[in-house]
Structure 1
């Protein structure tokens, strides 16, 4: 039995014919609408946690923000409308469909004061901090 050794780079390549098939089949009519994952920046300041979610092309009516059991969830949907019949799309690279991002937050947040602002395709969420709960403390014996 003869052993055929393949070059490691060639082994993982996608055949060119497969790439061509993908290119020509990737039209509006054949595109799977499976959702997308919006980009998120998350940082902490002295008084709050901040999130910035990139949601270009969405309206604020299509965005939902919820806080439950320490989890902040941003969800919604970006729908594709094919109303213009005279256009023949050759390629659609924007992703459409439902999305959902969830973030576990620390226990020391003020859930009642969470603020969400949407402007120019960016959703900015501010989650204020409250004084940390004391879980363990060394007690001095007097």
Structure 2
């Protein structure tokens, strides 16, 4: 994105599904740019960040932290019986 000023860049999220990078307010029509990326599921939309330095834009899209569950050992029986069909 060499030649584009930081003020002309926009990084947006649309419908929680798409990340859009575009230039705005460019006086030259041939300098306009727009790229749309489909975001994967289970991401932290509020944590998306972008940096622009020396003509390079770096966008960080963090994953949501998967919250597990806790099994209390006191409620697990001493013996488990597993029934399965033979193949």
- RMSD across aligned C-alpha pairs, in angstroms? 2.2
Alignment partners' CA distance in 1, 2:3 and 2:32: 13
Q: TM-score, normalised on structure 1? A: 0.41
SS state at 2:33 partner = strand
Does residue 35 of structure 2 align to residue 101 of structure 1?
A: yes
**Residue 110 of structure 1, aligned match among 10, 23, 44:** 44
The higher-RCO structure (CA 8 Å, 6+ apart) is: 1
Superposed displacement of residue 131, structure 1: 4.0
Gaps of 5+ in 2: 67-81
TM-score by length of structure 2 reads: 0.65
Gaps of 5+ in 1: 1-54, 81-94, 133-140
Within the alignment, does 1:76 sit opposite 2:76 as a pair? no
Q: Name the CA distance, whole Å, in 2 between partners of 1:124 and 1:79.
A: 24
Aligned residues: 66
| Shift >3 Å, 4+ stretches | 77-80
